[in-house]
A and B are shown apart, each in its own frame.
Chain A
């Protein structure tokens, strides 16, 4: 069965420095739209809950990327059979592929057995058994420590932390243990087969403890990889790469996209390379960099800039926070001379500061304007004030306009 499937649908591998290979969507795949629609009547607008601050944009089909690669990939290869999946379904699909391929792989965390609070693990326990998909007690430091121990024996450990906001009890295990296991043992031991998955980012009403984007805390920790997808197709490929990567990885899943983002995703496994940013739209005047949900915001900002200002934006999805793809960002800034980075996480010490600092070191003489960071404020993530807190398209647009007029 698996052999037939492998023959019929290709194992898709996207490799090579700085660019993706070609893929082709099945005909008839529609573009998904955000599921929330604007308020029908103006008088109710004040009372209704805020609509989403972004519109999910799946990558248009078919994509043609400039192929700057030494890899021997053919230009047009099939994705094989695809299925319309939203983000949580694409995660389920990746986990399904993993457990099918790797008999040592196990999934564990709070509430994963019945399918997970975000339904990412629905059906997996029935399919693979209760020894492979199981609940743990409510203890994040235990979940990660336990996962490290599984990985030390060489088995594949896929741990779920229910919300990124609750990852902090596990910070010691992640930073002091997982990240340093290989280095401190002189490569006698490692926990490379550990992947931690966690819902991440704003969701409209999550407030302080269901909205956080803690990637900056982990960016400061050599030895782990931190990865954030913008879409179901990206999520599956990146998650599979994380699981197969020989280093401990944290995979943050933008929870607001779990249902809002849907597109055609291959049923068979495929990999999207880590530590490679993706230029999802080429441009000449400004470089816009973001990750996760915010990629859709800056994409819209790029359209606005084109329409209102005649400005051509290069839009980059960073995808891997560490180790990050310095070359792609710098190459773009050398071309455009202007850089805007945007993330939901608070401004001070946010990952935009690392990008900004490196880019000004590498591309100082190419810069036409100071690097702009459009981020959350230096406050905890508020509840009722979320629409004011988030770095929405108007703030990004305004910052872009100032950069152009600098």
Chain B
């Protein structure tokens, strides 16, 4: 409908008018309480007549509150008719009289921060974090142990020992580089390809295996598919399969940490594919508007199962979205552990100090298949994969660095490979031997307390097994 003219606005509203006032939009308003005409006319009188009247918030709501000092009601601001600056509440910007669309810049996108070159040499010495030897060795050993565990568990799925597995090949740098930059008590929300974070936090091999095997040692009580790890002690929230659901959750956790003055950051990992989900948009927007101490860490590894990034987005990746939300953003070389470390460290410091979100897009490459249910040769060339495996791998680059520092050599490499393989095999064999949890654990933890009807169902299964138990794999389960 047409905006009312200035003259119309200056007339008091007719008594008993039934039609809607121009300022009252239909839709999600309080129902059953029409604006009282008199209250509306009263609010009208207080305005300068340049802007359209605002709906009267005092109609039907009882006593007016004292004005909110952070957000004074618009009608109290004085607008000079000589002032040509834009007055829109929605944007802080100047006028322009030239018609020009902003061209998205995808040819020359946000630059990629790195510290080491592909041969593990520091490029700019002032960016070298100068991490102590023990810490760099811990980074290296976490990545290589993870790699070894991945190989063995992938194989075990091929052999039918576990039902499913996802490897982390090529992305180990994103995990340990970021984990090393956090406090141990910083809460981690992951997607499913962040096992290196747990590895860096010394999650025992036994528990990785227990979850994959779903045996009695599994803290998750055998309820989820492999790689859905969780650890309360290490502040790693249990993984769930739906993508990006963790993003707004991480924001809520960060808000709670802020309120509690915990001096903790929350980090939220997700892939570039998950970043297409609505939950990602929701999380970014909430984090910015609610000023949450959170690090959004996007692993851009080039593929979401078979979908390449060219089919996932048309803009300049995920980092370019951050400024759209008002979020400090950076793009880093995810295969450069020091770059990941530096960016995460600085983001953490500022997120906690300033209560604002940070977005880190770590560029990397998914060397492995999406999972054991995937054969990626169906959609990408072996040459492409080999390039990354041989020419730009986070483990190789850090090894070169270690070698050049004199902190590592071929003998130690051989010994460590042997030792890590042995540790993994031991844990693996033990995990395989253990029984599965008691089937009663099928029924617990749905609620904190078991509802009566569910208890009846539990009893019904127990009775069923008494008669038909031979048809069920009870031998493998704890009695």
Contacts and interface: CB of A to CB of B under 8 A. Distances in A.
A282 interface: no
Contacts of A150: 252-253, 255-256
Given A115-B61, A117-B30, A184-B238, A149 B252 contact: yes
Nearest to A326: B453
Given A114-B57, A172-B242, A206-B31, A152 B249 contact: yes
Given A117-B29, A145-B252, A186 B223 contact: yes
A174 B260 CA distance: 25
Contacts of B57: 114
B185 to A, nearest CB: 12
B414 interface: no
Interface in A111-132: 114-115, 117-119, 122-123, 126, 130-132
B220 interface: yes
A189 B289 contact: no
Contacts, number: 187
Given A152-B237, A173-B245, A203-B32, A184 B228 contact: yes
A117 B33 CA distance: 11
Contact of B245 (A154, A169, A176): A176
B446 interface: yes
A139 B249 contact: no
Interface stretch (B84-92, B276-284, B334-342): B276-284
A247 B447 contact: yes
Given A126-B65, A255-B31, A189 B232 contact: yes
A137 B254 CA distance: 17
Interface stretch (A73-81, A155-163, A333-341): A155-163
Contacts of A177: 240, 242, 245, 249
A142 interface: yes
Given A145-B282, A147-B252, A176-B242, A222 B237 contact: no
Contacts of A275: 451
Contacts of A126: 65-66
Contact of A204 (B32, B65, B237, B249): B32
Interface of A: 104, 106, 114-115, 117-119, 122-123, 126, 130-132, 134, 136-137, 139, 141-142, 144-155, 157, 162-163, 169, 172-173, 176-177, 180-190, 192, 203-206, 210, 222-223, 225, 246-247, 255-256, 259, 275, 323-324, 326-327
A189 B454 CA distance: 21
B223 A149 contact: no
Contacts of B289: 136-137
B223 A153 contact: no
B290 A152 contact: no
Contacts of B449: 246
Most B C-beta atoms less than 10 A away, residue of A130, A134, A148, A186: A186
A142 B255 CA distance: 13
Contacts of A139: 281-282, 285-286
14 contacts: A136-B289, A137-B282, A144-B248, A152-B252, A153-B252, A154-B256, A162-B28, A176-B242, A180-B240, A182-B446, A184-B223, A185-B220, A186-B238, A324-B453
A145 B245 contact: yes
B285 A145 contact: no
A155 to B, nearest CB: 4
A225 B447 CA distance: 9
Given A115-B61, A117-B28, A149-B256, 5 more contacts: A137-B289, A184-B228, A185-B230, A185-B238, A188-B232
Interface residues of B, number: 62
A204 B32 CA distance: 8
Nearest to A165: B28
Given A139-B286, A186-B218, A145 B224 contact: no
Given A152-B237, A184-B240, A192-B448, A141 B285 contact: no
A155 B260 contact: yes
A12 to B, nearest CB: 22
A303 B245 CA distance: 50
B231 interface: yes
Interface string B265-288: 000000000000011011101100
B445 interface: yes
B452 A327 contact: yes
Contact of B62 (A122, A131, A176, A183): A122
B280 to A, nearest CB: 10
A49 to B, nearest CB: 10
Contacts of B32: 203-205, 256, 259
Closest 9 CB pairs of A and B: A149-B252, A145-B248, A142-B282, A149-B249, A185-B238, A186-B221, A323-B451, A146-B252, A186-B220
Contacts of A256: 32
A153 B228 contact: no
